[in-house]
Amino acid sequence: MARPRVEVVNDDISTSALATTRLLPQITAINRPFWEGGRDGLLHVEFCPSCERYANPPQGRCERCGGSVGYRAVSGRGQLFTFTVNHQPYNPAVPVPYVVGLVELDEQAGLRVFTNVVGIPPEEVAIGMEVTVVFEDHDPIFIPVFVPA
């Protein structure tokens, strides 16, 4: 099921400022499918066909068997495993507070993605809440962030 790519914009100034002032990741041959895969509206995660296991962050090889890996699209749905609300203005262009979270994806226990949780006031964010991925469009990079499902 394809998801449309989305540039995150809403009335919360911290969300739109985060999207427009974000420091972008360095793209490598190993992580390119993860960062550029959101172009099709889907979250792409490294997958070992031998172990039939997903892995994140991308390593370029299976950490279990040492075998070759590829990427597979996942549903983009999960639960917020843990989070923190950042009140420290590390980047003066990004207003605080904003939420940094660890999302466990539905595809596999322990498959987690560090991300921002957006589209919800920080005081309403809760561990265990159902979330779904959307993407900030920084073409060619598509940053996966999560919103309440």
Per-residue model confidence as pLDDT tens digits over 48-58: 999 999 999 99
16 contact partners, CB below 8 Å, separation of at least 6: 8, 9, 10
At position 136, the amino acid (one-letter code) is E
**Structural domain contains residue 8:** no
pLDDT at 3: 41
Domain count within the chain: 1
User: What is the spatial distance between Cα 31 and Cα 40, in angstroms, rounded to a whole number?
Assistant: 16
**Tell me: the pLDDT tens digits for 90-112?**
888 788 999 999 999 999 999 99
Q: Report the CATH number at residue 100.
A: 2.40.50.840
**Structural domain contains residue 4:** no
Name the β-bridge partners of 99: 85, 117
pLDDT value at 135 more than 80: yes
pLDDT value at 10 more than 70: no
Residue 78, number of CB atoms within 10 A of its CB: 25
Write down the pTM of the prediction.
Answer: 0.87
pLDDT at 2: 41
State which residues form the domain around 137.
13-148
Are 113 and 87 within 8 A, CB to CB?
A: no
> If you average pLDDT over every residue of the chain, what do you get?
89
**Structural domain contains residue 1:** no
More confident residue, 10 or 126: 126
**Structural domain contains residue 120:** yes
pLDDT at 12: 43
